[in-house]
Amino acid sequence: MRIIISGGGTGGHIYPAIAIANELKAMDPSTEILFVGAEGKMEMEKVPRAGYRIVGLPVVGIKRELTLANLAFPFKLGRSFLRAQQIVRDFRPDVAVGVGGYASGPLLLAASVKGIPTLIQEQNSYAGLTNKALSRWAERICVAYPGMESFFAAGKIKLTGNPVRSDIQLADQQVEAGRKLFGLEDNRPTLLVIGGSQGARTLNESLEAGLKRFVDAGVQVVWQTGPAFIERARAAVATVGSPLIKAYDFIYDMDKAYAIADVVVSRAGALSVSELCLVGRPAILVPFPAAAEDHQTKNAMALVDRKAALLVRDQDARETLVTTALTLINDQSQRQRLGAEIKTLAKPNAAREIAEEVLKLTNKG
């Protein structure tokens, strides 16, 4: 069996793709999997690290504002489609899977033209432009939220949830390993702050301004800043002069990071929300307001409306985020309620269900 998985651009696309690939390999170790990403994007580094081969397309996204870079878009899209056609001819996949992001467009279109069945995995509660455009040719669309009939043909939809790496599901077994990894004390509350793979400026600046308040309260902070902010974060940590604050540009061992967290502050990307549901950690969500169609706010509200998470709006974060975090850390009963409710929204079998749908399309499931 030969499967192409295409897409990327952010961790929210890449890690679900890797989870699907891992499940396909677990179900049939002889399966051959090829990833197709966008040249220069993070999937070109993250996918090989996970043990899979990836090839890149020269595709880029179109800017929402008027810019000279947009003049190159149709040419790069055309080159990417021709390259995708060559990849499909050479690899001869049984199925092509698209997880969203720049590269999934040309690849899934090339596969559809060749008559190869395609499956789309939509992570968000508001469908992306690429997936909406490709859905007319897709045989199956696996979604994470109910009510997606407003974007896709109802007969093609399968509600699976978002696939999450298997190690995340075992986070509760990693508490001691997590404390050792991050150099934490076991008798202090711990806040985990994650702004996505590239970091989040609002979260970073809010934390930077409030570090001393966490130190004064005896709260340990594990802070993923993203690569652009790490030096500034290290300078801020040095200023407060406390070993309670740990800053990292990127955290690979997210299972251990979730394990040690009493409270999590996060953006509301689809993958982050799905992981928080699985690990059952009380969360404060700060949606990124510039996300397409404001889909992060929609993702967050799916939890907030169920009283499964707290919401701090991006424009309010610099004034209220630190206070909200400290208040929640000090309110054990609210933490327990939030953790229990968010856990009820978890879909731990998403990767297997999607892999089974892929197999059905090969006529080998």
Annotated binding site: 10-12, 124, 165, 197, 251, 270-275, 296
The annotation places the binding site for UDP-N-acetyl-alpha-D-glucosamine at: 10-12, 124, 165, 197, 251, 270-275, 296
Q: What single letter denotes the amino acid at residue 210?
A: G
266 within 8 A of 287, measured Cβ to Cβ: no
CA gap 89, 238 in Å, rounded? 55
| Helix ranges, 92-149 (H) | 104-113, 129-134
57 within 8 A of 39, measured Cβ to Cβ: yes
Q: Which residues of 224-263 are buried (b: 16+ CB within 10 A; e: fewer)?
A: bbbeebbeebeebbeeeebebbbbbbebeebbbbbbbbbb
| Helix ranges, 101-229 (H) | 104-113, 129-134, 166-169, 175-182, 201-216
CB contact set of 83 (below 8 Å; sequence gap of 6+): 57, 58, 106
Q: Bin 119: left if φ > 0, else alpha if -120 < ψ < 50, else beta.
A: beta
Side-chain half-sphere exposure of 39, counting CA atoms within 13 A: 11
Q: What tokens does 320 get?
A: 């209220």
